Chains A and B, each alone.
Chain A
Amino acid sequence: MDQRNQFHRQVALMRQSLFDQGYIDEQFVQLEELQDDTNPNFVEEVVTLYYRDSARLIVSIEQALDKSPLDFNKLDSLMHQFKGSSSSIGARKVKAECTQFREYCKAENGEGCMRTFQQMKKEYATLKKRLEAYFQLARQAGPSQAASRPK
């Protein structure tokens, strides 16, 4: 019982630090509110889908950044989609980099785009690691009162 409580406390701390450090925002809470006994891993499923889907977008953006001259409309359009998906899971830092990228597209600043894209990929990878660790610990801890919507 003690170990279970300790796990739950660790999960709660991990979750809080994701918010405190600005990795995730209120939208993540919205996803958690949709989790229930019929879909106890809903948030993890959504995040998994996000990483799978967005990987393709990242490749497309990379390919577009390789072209010369840069097609800023296409880059902006790709990033618009990527930003949308990132917003849907509450990926706050990733979303901020996407916004910056789009500003550089509007200004037709290729260097700015490339720099921001590298930064975005760093945030994207860091968030993935943090969330994977969080979900793994949450699964070990098992269901808690807080994990599901109250009936």
Chain B
Amino acid sequence: MVKPTALVVDDNKLNRMIHGKLLDVLGIKNRAVENGEEAIEVHLSGEKFDLILMDRDMPVMNGIEATKKLRAMGIKCMIAGISSHSIGPEKEEFMEAGLDDYHEKPLTVAKLLSLVSKIKN
């Protein structure tokens, strides 16, 4: 069985470390980038992922813009928005950019498992 792969997009080093470890523990090969622009570049260089964990607020290019661009590029994989806003217009705006799912920070084992199960489906 091919193991899923994931991309962590977050400007916060702590979150990259924790989310990376969460993915490691679930046996998901992963890498991390620091902003939306780097996420685009990684895809332009030909890499593909089954899951993208996209932070919302990042410098250079934020998660909303990056999600829109990835979808416009034809990237169809699961993109989960990970943000500190639980409800309201910030969440709506992010979802409308093209997210498949949305979770409030911090990400937990349970939240990640629910995302991974959706990839398999």
Residues of A within 8 A of B (CB): 27, 30-31, 33-34, 36, 39, 42, 45-46, 49-50, 53, 80-81, 83-85, 87-89, 149
Residues of B within 8 A of A (CB): 12-15, 17-18, 21-22, 25, 57, 84, 105-106, 108-109
Residues of B near A81 (CB, < 8 A) are 12
The A interface is mostly helix, strand or loop, or mixed, namely: helix
Contact A46 B106 (CB under 8 A): no
The B interface is mostly helix, strand or loop, or mixed, namely: helix
CB contact between A84 and one of B22, B84, B109 (< 8 Å): that residue: B84
Known: A80-B57, A149-B25. 5 other contacts (CB 8 A): A30-B108, A34-B18, A53-B14, A83-B84, A84-B84
Contact B18 A31 (CB under 8 A): yes
A87: min CB distance to chain B, Å: 6
Contact A88 B106 (CB under 8 A): yes
Residues of A near B12 (CB, < 8 A) are 81, 84-85, 88
Residues of B near A34 (CB, < 8 A) are 18, 21-22, 25, 109
